[in-house]
Structure 1
Amino acid sequence: MNPIQEYFYRIEEPERSTLLFLRKTILESDIENITETFSFGLPFFKYKKKMLCYMYYSKKYQQHYISFYHGDRLTHPELISDGRKKFKIFLIDMEKDIPISLILFYISQVKQHIKT
């Protein structure tokens, strides 16, 4: 298993399946330009080799989250900065339906900031 696979398989179910679904959705949203790397012990997604987002677990909120690069330029009430300078996080509530369209919207917004 590669380090990315190991990262996800260390997570208990049902969170693992949810995060693997999100991973697949993010990668398939732009097959030609979004790639995945393993940096700082986390799965990072890159757009044209530039940081896009990553997944992690918040001990403070007791939830997994997606952290978006250029989050400082995104002004959406669902995103939390928590003192981060360049990133904002979106908490993933495993008890609710995942707002895929909202996550893909955030990704499209970050991609626009990467292009400029």
Structure 2
Amino acid sequence: MNPIQEYFYRIEEPDRSTLLFLRKKILESDPENITETLSFGLPFFKYKKKMLCYLYYSKKYKKHYVSFYHGDRLDYPELLQEGRKKFKILLIDREADLPVEFILRLIEEVKQFVRA
């Protein structure tokens, strides 16, 4: 098992399945340009080798989240900044439907900022 698989294996169900599904959707959204690495012990997604987003767990909210690089440029009430300089997070609520289309739209927006 590689380190990225190990990261997901340590997560309890049903969160593991949700995050693996989200991971698959992110990677499939642009398979030629989006890659996955393990940085700081977390699964990071990169666009043309530049930071795009990562997955993590909030102890404060007791929820997993997607953190978007250049989130400071994204203006959506669903995103939380909470003192972060470059990132904003989207909490994943296991009781609600996963907002896949919204997440992919945010990724497309962030890609516009990292092309330069």
TM-score by length of 2: 0.99
Gaps of 5+ in 2: none
Equivalent residue, structure 2, for 1:71: 71
| Cα distance between partner residues in 1 of 2:22 and 2:96 | 14
CA RMSD of aligned residues (A): 0.5
Map 1:22-101; keep pairs closer than 5 Å. Answer: 22-101=22-101
The total of aligned residue pairs comes to 116
Superposed displacement of residue 115, structure 1: 1.5
Match of 1:105 in 2: 105
Whole-angstrom distance in 1 between the partners of 2:115 and 2:16: 32
Separation of aligned partners in 2, 1:101 and 1:24: 13
Which runs of 5 or more structure 1 residues have no equivalent in the other structure?
Answer: none
Where 1:5 maps in the other structure, the secondary structure is helix
| Counterpart amino acid of residue 83 in structure 1 | G
Percent identical among aligned pairs is: 76
Which TM-score applies when normalising by structure 1?
Answer: 0.99
| Structure 1 stretches of 4+ moved >4 Å | none
